[in-house]
Amino acid sequence: MKKLISLVLALAMIMVIGIASANTITIESNAPEGATNVTTYSWYQILKASYEGTLTDTTPVSYYVDSPASDTLAGLLDAIEGITATKSADGTRWNITVADSFTGESLAAALNTDAIKAAAITSGSENANGNADVVIDNLTDGYYLIVADNGQNLIAQTLGNVTIKEKNTYITDVKTVEEADLAIGEVAHFTITITVPAKAVVGEVITVHDTMDSELTYNNDVAATFEGAAVALTDGTKKADTELFAKNFTITEAMLGKSVILTYTATVNETADPDEDGFVNTSFANDSNFETLPTTVRVYTFDFDLDKNFADVTGDDAANFSATFNLKKGDTVLKFKAVTGGYVLAQNQADTDASANLVVNGKDNINIDGLDAGVYTLVETATAPGYNMLTDVITVTITDTTPEESKNDPSVTPTRTVTYQIGSGDSATGTVTIVNNKGTQLPSTGGIGTTIFYILGGLLVIGAAVILVARRKAHD
């Protein structure tokens, strides 16, 4: 019966890495650190074992079941092609032999029947706790079938202390967002890719949970596909009131080891603050045994500051002078809503309380936020009386400088640069600063002007004096 020892060493699902003197089976977990894992491992002693001396690869080992206590089990084993149960001469046991054609995986599958498990010599169960190892102790020498309720089947012999390395596959979920920097009113496209364990239980349900920050408005459009075909989703049980949704799908045989893809969208709303570290969307998935670690993506908006100066006006008096601008992206004039300190891009550009006019005075800067990276044009449409309006448009460029590897890391603040150019002038970086100059008094043409009136008036005064003097002399 050396075949049983070699089967354990060759198992596709487990790897024996040590044998000691105590009769325990330790199942080394491969669950991710921090994950929730409550898998139940049910164990069944199928055979007893005996040997003499020190166990080596060449030590003779006999495998058997007692008679009459395990006659039912012996009959069930003997009915499996490749396994033979032979009664000993004294009638006290059934000697068991296994054909060389079995692999560890195929033998575990052959033994995993309700009848055999019900007839097992002894049985019990142990629950996993997160990613901690599972220890089954107080076992006698023998051969054991171990069945995990997530679909994994293991076999091991306890000729001493045995450690096997779990080869379970767990649910994995990968979350992505199509674009990280978005303007208010733009739509974030999210994707969750759920990989179904290769040994999952067909018919079991996987639940996908999702939450998002209040700056994102869910569009209630989650859908799932498998290999391009639609997958039915039903409402699952939320684990917290803050969850956006919990959606179930049922595992089919075709899904084993493959991916189900969920897609949905959310719109960046007017509460979005560019000073924050982004607007986070988080998801995780679970079945009855395992829950993935949360995966997070984020989106974010940008802003820039506008500083308006009027020549020869300083201090508090500058607040009495103002100019009006429009901001365009491409050919579209954007509309904004006034907020403390500036303006925020209107989520609905058709809102009646949204306006294209951005008013800035000569004393206070304004902040224009809710924008995404890109090129904008700023056009002055009105200015203070006595000042010339700008004849050039201002090109404003916002560049996302957040490192690619940090775009989905909420602990890293998104970064951007703002550059601007007035007409064909030199580019500058930082606050967009614009100066309006005073108009000049132009000479007029086509009239006689005022000088002649001054000359004529002077001559009349002199003439009147001359006449007065002449009259006095004549009178004398």
The DSSP 8-state label assigned to residue 300 in this structure reads B
**pLDDT tens per residue across span 142-153:** 999 999 888 778
What is the tens place of the pLDDT at every residue in 159-201?
888 888 877 788 999 999 999 999 999 999 999 999 999 989 9
Look at residue 302 in the predicted model and tell me its pLDDT.
Answer: 95
The type of residue at 63 is Y
Query: What is the average pLDDT across 101-124?
Result: 93
**Helix, strand, or coil (residue 320):** helix
Pick the CATH number of 172-299 from 2.40.30.20, 2.60.40.740, 3.40.50.2000, 3.50.50.60: 2.60.40.740
H or E segment to which residue 43 belongs: strand 40-51
Delimiting residues of CATH 2.60.40.740 domain(s) in the chain: 172-299
Matching residue, tokens 């080869």? 167
Does position 355 have pLDDT exceeding 70, yes or no? yes
Q: In angstroms, what CA-CA distances link 135 with 24, 32, 162, 424?
A: 7, 18, 10, 75
pLDDT, residue 342, reads 94
- Average pLDDT, integer, range 118-126: 96
Q: How many CB atoms lie within 10 A of CB 339?
A: 13
Mean pLDDT across the chain, nearest whole number? 87
Match 């003997």 to its residue by tokens: 78
In the chain, residues under CATH classification 2.60.40.10 are 302-436
pLDDT for residue 276 is more than 80: no
- Separation between Cα atoms, residue 309 and residue 318, nearest integer Å: 8
Cα separation of 196 and 285, whole Å?
Answer: 10
pLDDT value, residue 463: 60
CATH T-level assignment (fold) for domain 302-436: Immunoglobulin-like (2.60.40)
Kindly list the distances between the CA atom of residue 375 and the CA atoms of 33, 393, 419, in Å, as whole numbers in the listed order: 44, 13, 10
C-alpha angle 177-183-184 in degrees, rounded to nearest 5: 105
And the tokens for 440? 């000049």
Give the Cα separation of 60 and 43 in Å (integer).
25
Q: Could you tell me where the beta strands, DSSP code E, fall in 213-365?
A: 216-218, 223-226, 229-231, 234-235, 245-250, 259-268, 279-286, 290-291, 295-299, 302-310, 322-329, 332-333, 336-339, 342-345, 358-361
For 357-390, the pLDDT digits (tens) are 999 999 999 999 999 999 999 999 999 999 999 9
